Amino acid sequence: MYTIDDIDVYVITHNRCEFLKQTLDSVIHQTVRLNKITVLDNESVDDTEQVVAQYKKYNVAYYKTFERHGNFLKAQELTAANNTKYVMTFHDDDLLHPQFFEKMLAALNSLDYEPAGLMSAFSWFPTGNLFVSPPAESQKILPKAYLYPECLENKYIVIRNPQDLVQLILYVENPPYDQINPCICSVVYRKDCFLKRVPERSKYGIIDDVSIIMDLTRQGSVILLADNKAVFHRNHQNRDALNNGNSVEQSTEWVKLLSGFIEPTDMKSYQKLVNMIVSIYPSISSAECLKEYPTAVFVKKLIELGVIPQGVKVKDKKKKINFFTLEQYFASDQKNILQENKKTSFIKRIFRFKKRHG
């Protein structure tokens, strides 16, 4: 039987002391308490060390790391030297639901095999609009689902291989946009899988986590907790994706990675892939890249390279706008009320009528 002592947790940070305290609070105050947490600080020049010192009574260890991938390598060094069974890295600007580790352990102890990893769905805060940075004063406002948490669902998805992962990503990035987007940057890895991780930031840019999780699914099943209240990603002005966007070459490699697990004749999945590119590409690209390769030009380039087959269209994402005269609007409103009344009980009809006209 697995216990919380079988999971090592590393919080990786760089110059985000203003968010780190909230992150550590969320990791510490769990229904199943961790007995040790390690903060890996990669060359911060702010008050990070002083913030971590406030958590000494919670057995929070602190290591200073250096150079590119310093925290990555330090986590592997520490993991190789201990007897842990699973390892998790967590970002310094995100939050965990208080039941996160409870649900991870519940999954582990319900399986008759050792999964390669476990992760969860996630949601954004304080706003879900990734193209607009929230005002500085709102960046530390905690989400209601975190402040007043409801129990996480006991609902898990088994991702058996890279093909499953790609189909899940395409599913959540297309209508009806089911809120089970996998949190690929906060994964609980089996120890042997964690030690095999290879960072590929130079190849895939800011979304190199996708390639790491793809490799993970080759080593065994990955269990996804299908509740987007499990992890909360913070959208803020200094988010890496906003300040260190991809080059066109990096985004091309990212699309190649996904398209490599789509059957050549599966045009439906390719259409979903293009729809996803239209939604995500602008938010992961550098300003220079987006200026030279707007979304439509980028998709055309992918088709020319053979990454996406001919015949897949870039759909117009603009919503249809309807104009009414005042009389038409009143008539359509009454029609909607009549249609709604046919589908609901008498009590609900009265309540909704009062709500509309009271």
**What is the model's pTM?**
0.84
CA 120 to centroid of chain Cα atoms: 8
The model's pLDDT over 230-273, given as tens digits with 9 standing for 90+, comes to: 999 998 766 655 567 899 999 999 999 999 999 999 999 999 99
User: Is residue 132 within 8 Å of residue 273, measured between CB atoms?
Assistant: no
User: Is the pLDDT reported for residue 58 higher than 60?
Assistant: yes
Q: 105 pLDDT band (50/70/90 cuts)?
A: very high
User: Is residue 209 within 8 Å of residue 98, measured between CB atoms?
Assistant: no
Instruction: Please state, in angstroms and rounded to a whole number, the distance separating the CA atoms of residues 315 and 9.
Output: 42
Write down the domain spans for the chain.
Answer: 4-240, 245-304, 326-357
User: Is residue 84 within 8 Å of residue 6, measured between CB atoms?
Assistant: yes
The model's pLDDT over 318-357, given as tens digits with 9 standing for 90+, comes to: 545 566 656 666 666 554 534 444 444 433 333 343 344 4
Question: In the beta sheet, which residues pair with residue 60?
Answer: 37
Instruction: Please state, in angstroms and rounded to a whole number, the distance separating the CA atoms of residues 44 and 328.
Output: 61
Would strands 95-96 and 231-234 be described as parallel, antiparallel, or unpaired? antiparallel
In the CATH hierarchy, which top-level class contains the domain 4-240? alpha beta
Per-residue pLDDT, 315: 63
The model's pLDDT over 274-328, given as tens digits with 9 standing for 90+, comes to: 999 998 999 889 889 999 999 999 999 999 999 999 988 776 545 455 666 566 6
Q: Which of 271, 317, 299 is nearest to 131 (CA)?
A: 317
Instruction: Please state, in angstroms and rounded to a whole number, the distance separating the CA atoms of residues 247 and 218.
Output: 27
